[in-house]
Structure 1
Amino acid sequence: MASLAVPWWLFLIWTCLGVSLVHCDPTYETYYFDQKIDHFGFYEDSTFKQRYLVSDTHWKKPGGPILFYTGNEGDITLFSNNTGFMWDIAEELGAMLIFAEHRYYGESMPYGNLSYSDPKHLNYLTSEQALADFAVLIRFFKAHGDAKHSPVIAIGGSYGGMLAAWMRMKYPHDVVGALAASAPIWQFEDLVPCSLYYQIVTNDFKKSGSGCAESVSKSWAALNRMAETDDGIRWLSSAFHMCSPLKGKEDVTAMKGWLSETWVNLAMVDYPYPANFLEPLPAWPIQEVCKHLTNPNLDDKGLLQNIFEAINVYYNYTGETPCLNTSQTAVGSLDDLGWSYQACTEMVMPFCPDGVNDMFEPQKWNFEAYSDDCYKQWGVRPRETWITTIYGGKNISSASNIIFSNGDLDPWSAGGVKQSLSESLVAILIPDGAHHLDLRSNNAYDPKSVIEARALEVAYMKKWIKEYRQQLNIWDV
């Protein structure tokens, strides 16, 4: 993919980062539903098995609410086991939980083993088709007995949060409301400055330690100078304990990309308690990293030695990692291949660190280069303006009953809705929150801001449920 954008696989990681610690008892049943491969045409009339998970332990039937997780780009069990907020509130709301798997991920493969074989078989991997899957599945549920009058609330985080918001916009008759956590629905075209994302990462480092962001900023020139000589490249290989020695400038360029991704990952997981999604990490990991980056005025080797110590917090906090690998990623159970295709079709998100207002090397957004890389990989070209065409961009005032939650520490908040647009298009800000902290399970170290955010989210859900029942003249909450 083009180096001018956030790497396609990194968004997958971030999607997972916001989900909660594994809930203590995520009991569910697994089912499969026959979905049409193409909801919008009539020639392709085949079906596939869409997997979905159901927990009705706390469901107050008939008519109890349904919390419907709009599946992300990965195995749905990952999200079921890790979206603790839904499990935490199920009993209070008397809700059934449904986790619907996104087509082309996990076990929900429209063409089986051929699904990723060529662009023709991948042609139905779109957000529109996924939303239609969710709508058909909801209709199936509500056509049967005890769920006939159940209000449905869509919930998701990151890409799943985008889908939850779009679900309410496109299918308001199927879902009474949506919680879109850390959903960057405006990270498209020029809706927000393409440099803002990296500025948020930089601010996280600035507030976490004196000299920290400055050290990172100066490290790029130091790396460039080391890359000018064979001795410098050998020194880098040794100092950073590389599993495979760097062989030339191209490897150093790849190393810089790897370091950039590491700093961004740390911003994603800057949680107030230990977590181990990508790697085992301490509470407030950026503060721990910044303890090694207090002096930005050292010579090249001294500065870069500190950079190594800093990233070692991320990759080797347990002390069990023997060496580092610039191709080392941590995508877990998420599917990098599927998202790379989506990023090369609909999900075109511009990013452009400027090196002035952030601590990264400057890179201009170049859609043409991005498109060329997509064509080389997939044989398709992205449609830069398609998402705003079908979902409205910032023109969403006609929608209703959507909560947009964003954490101030989360770079993805750059593309999020951070100001309420109406009485029912509500923005909730979490000053101490990284990537959708509110979807994680309750924790003793939760900051007050996320506790208050969750309480407000539940209050809106109760309001939506009550209004739905009153409209149907059924009963009050």
Structure 2
Amino acid sequence: MRFLSVLAGFVGLASAMLKVKHRGLDQQSDPLNRRESAAYPANTIDMPIDHFPHNPRYAPHVTGTFKQRYFFDSSYYKPGGPVYLYISGETSGTNRFSNLQTGIIQILMEATNGLGVIIEDRYYGKSYPFANSTTDNLRYLTTEQTIADNAYFAQHATFPGVEGNLTAPGTPWILYGGSLAGGETAFSLKEYGDILFGGIASSAPVKTVLPYPEWYDPIQKYGPQDCISSVNAIVEKIDYLVDSHKEEAINELKAIFGLEKLKDIRDFAMTIAFPIGGPMNYPKDTWQELNWYPAYSAPDFFDFCSNVTNINAPASVTAFDNALAKYTHGKPWVNLGNYADFFKKAFLPLCPSGDYDSTSCFGTQNASFWADESNGPGRSYLYTSNNGVLGPSHAESTTPSLELQISEQPTNTAASISKLIDLPIDPWLGLCYHAPGTPVRESSDLNPEYLIAGAGHHWDSSGIKNIPAEPLFIQQAHLWEIKTVQKWLRTFKDWKPGHGK
């Protein structure tokens, strides 16, 4: 699978913006975004741009603030109830409204008379510190600054129409984040356990590696095996052509997919992998967008596999299985025609101009495109990806890295409490607490953990406002989350921030 591994490394990072042009980063990490959501009014807090004025990493320092958006739901709140902070992550806060309505925050609010609030991450949605995103202006986009926002917000937030002071640590603040936001949740608790009472980190990468070909491991293991075998065999043959420098054969291969205009082999690798997906870039729904509830899920991946293994394809399609056999010692490329036919029908229309090598389509080699300094989620996410999603690099001595060892529980046990939820078919599992090869995990009341059997990328965030009607494996996970948080809240009266329980 070395050819697809290109997608997991250089190409995946270099082309993160193409995904935004096609469908937006927010769809990757929250399949619920496809649902209609009633609006919550936007509120803003004056958030310091720089929480670390003496850290040379952020020099030259600025002293101003920016308007950071947040949205809240107090329909279940009763005095004395907790605040649930949903961390928006790499998208606009408006794309997370469903979590207040039917998702995990709604579930916990209803069970504990809590108030739910979504905070929009800096440099996403409308929460930009500057009018543009020059490289200099992006220097304040680090996990270190982002989690400091969470702590500051918990200490200063107001909720119009809600009586009383709900700030931390006087009120129990419990964070929730999934995926990137799950990592931010874990690190918020690690660094600010004297302010934040607890948190749930779901599908949370607590380790950074680059590249990350392990993204494909759950697909290899749990995907339809006839499809997986076919794709693997095709990729192996592509590897052979590339390693053998068979340029004529590579050009013929590109033409079979309708991509002869794509000059760079890395762009070709990225593009034909779109039906499968990858760590950073894909314009349609993939394995990562599968969900336990049909209305939330996306069938694209299985549509692809069904087409790849179609035994009734017309001869005009299956003929391509032998088109390149002359380059592979007479061995046919089984199902290549089906693969290419599906790709051309599903993905070439995304580029109606037919200029496939342009950055408006599938090319990534135009440097001027990447120099665009306009504010946007693609540029923000690209900067985050290339500068360490979990904060400062190990190579920097000015600030310690926020990266946690994957074997440790990412909580400050002297103060906050957290629980980690992972999911076996999640492509990000390899960076999470329950990663393959880690020790057997044991849950406790202080540091609970849960591996939801058969589940994918932070599936626990999804809800239908009817827990008894949920599939048993999701129902039990939600019930476990409720009782775990209820246990936490019983201890709050004895909680002494920064001094343990």
**Range class of TM-score, shorter chain:** 0.7 to 0.9
Residue 290 (structure 1) aligned with residue 314 (structure 2): no
Q: Deviations over 1:225-247 (max 9, x none)?
A: 5994668746744x54x4xx523
Query: 1:182: Cα distance to partner?
Result: 0.7
Distance 1:273 1:415, change over 3 A: same
* Whole-Å separation in 1 of the counterparts to 2:343 and 2:474: 28
Distance 1:422 1:452, change over 3 A: closer
Q: Which residue of 2 aligns with 1:425?
A: 447
1:171 pairs with one of 185, 192, 206: 192
Q: Is the 8 A contact 1:26 1:87 kept in 2?
A: no
- 3-state SS, counterpart of residue 176 of structure 2: strand
Q: Which residue of 2 aligns with 1:69?
A: 86
Distance 1:287 1:157, change over 3 A: same
Query: 1:135: Cα distance to partner?
Result: 0.8
* Whole-Å separation in 1 of the counterparts to 2:431 and 2:119: 25
* Whole-Å separation in 1 of the counterparts to 2:113 and 2:287: 35
Q: Which residue of 2 aligns with 1:51?
A: 69
Q: Which residue of 1 aligns with 2:330?
A: none
Q: Which residue of 1 aligns with 2:121?
A: 102
1:448 pairs with one of 455, 472, 475: 472
Query: 1:274: Cα distance to partner?
Result: 4.1
Distance 1:82 1:132, change over 3 A: same
Q: Which residue of 2 aligns with 1:307?
A: 339
Q: Deviations over 1:369-416 (max 9, x none)?
A: xxxxxxxxxxxx965688983343244476342221112111101111
Query: 1:323: Cα distance to partner?
Result: 9.9
Q: Which amino acid aligns with 1:260?
A: A
- 3-state SS, counterpart of residue 128 of structure 2: coil
Q: Which amino acid aligns with 2:290?
A: D
How many residue pairs are counted as aligned between the two chains?
A: 415
Q: Which residue of 2 aligns with 1:182?
A: 203
Distance 1:198 1:321, change over 3 A: same
Query: 1:303: Cα distance to partner?
Result: 2.4
Query: How do residues 7-156 of structure 1 correspond to structure 2 at under 5 angstroms?
Result: 7-8=12-13, 9=16, 13=25, 16-20=28-32, 26-41=38-53, 44-60=62-78, 62-81=79-98, 84-111=103-130, 113-114=131-132, 116-117=133-134, 119-141=135-157, 145-147=164-166, 149-156=170-177
Q: Is the 8 A contact 1:399 1:425 kept in 2?
A: no
Q: Which amino acid aligns with 1:69?
A: Y
Residue 267 (structure 1) aligned with residue 295 (structure 2): no
* Whole-Å separation in 1 of the counterparts to 2:350 and 2:410: 52
Distance 1:275 1:334, change over 3 A: farther
* Whole-Å separation in 1 of the counterparts to 2:117 and 2:214: 35
- 3-state SS, counterpart of residue 389 of structure 1: coil
Query: 1:292: Cα distance to partner?
Result: 3.3
Q: Which residue of 2 aligns with 1:345?
A: 387
Distance 1:273 1:289, change over 3 A: farther
Query: 1:336: Cα distance to partner?
Result: 1.8
Distance 1:236 1:176, change over 3 A: same
Query: 1:438: Cα distance to partner?
Result: 0.9
- 3-state SS, counterpart of residue 454 of structure 1: helix
* Whole-Å separation in 1 of the counterparts to 2:165 and 2:114: 12
Residue 415 (structure 1) aligned with residue 431 (structure 2): yes
Residue 212 (structure 1) aligned with residue 236 (structure 2): no
Distance 1:142 1:34, change over 3 A: closer
Q: Is the 8 A contact 1:409 1:433 kept in 2?
A: yes
- 3-state SS, counterpart of residue 247 of structure 1: coil
Q: Which residue of 2 aligns with 1:355?
A: none
Query: 1:136: Cα distance to partner?
Result: 1.0
* Whole-Å separation in 1 of the counterparts to 2:215 and 2:376: 22
Q: Is the 8 A contact 1:432 1:447 kept in 2?
A: no
- 3-state SS, counterpart of residue 460 of structure 1: helix
- 3-state SS, counterpart of residue 448 of structure 2: strand
Residue 258 (structure 1) aligned with residue 278 (structure 2): no
Q: Is the 8 A contact 2:66 2:128 kept in 1?
A: yes
TM-score, structure 1 normalization: 0.74
- 3-state SS, counterpart of residue 434 of structure 1: coil
Q: Deviations over 1:56-108 (max 9, x none)?
A: 12111x22111101231221111234562223442222111111111111111
* Whole-Å separation in 2 of the counterparts to 1:413 and 1:436: 10
Distance 1:24 1:288, change over 3 A: closer
Q: Is the 8 A contact 1:48 1:110 kept in 2?
A: yes
* Whole-Å separation in 1 of the counterparts to 2:464 and 2:307: 31
Distance 1:88 1:16, change over 3 A: farther
- 3-state SS, counterpart of residue 267 of structure 2: helix
Which consecutive unaligned segments of at least 5 residues does structure 2 have? Answer: 1-5, 55-60, 279-285, 312-317, 325-332, 364-374, 435-439, 497-501
- 3-state SS, counterpart of residue 273 of structure 2: helix
* Whole-Å separation in 2 of the counterparts to 1:460 and 1:221: 47
TM-score, structure 2 normalization: 0.71
Distance 1:139 1:320, change over 3 A: closer
Q: Is the 8 A contact 2:143 2:390 kept in 1?
A: no
* Whole-Å separation in 1 of the counterparts to 2:62 and 2:188: 24
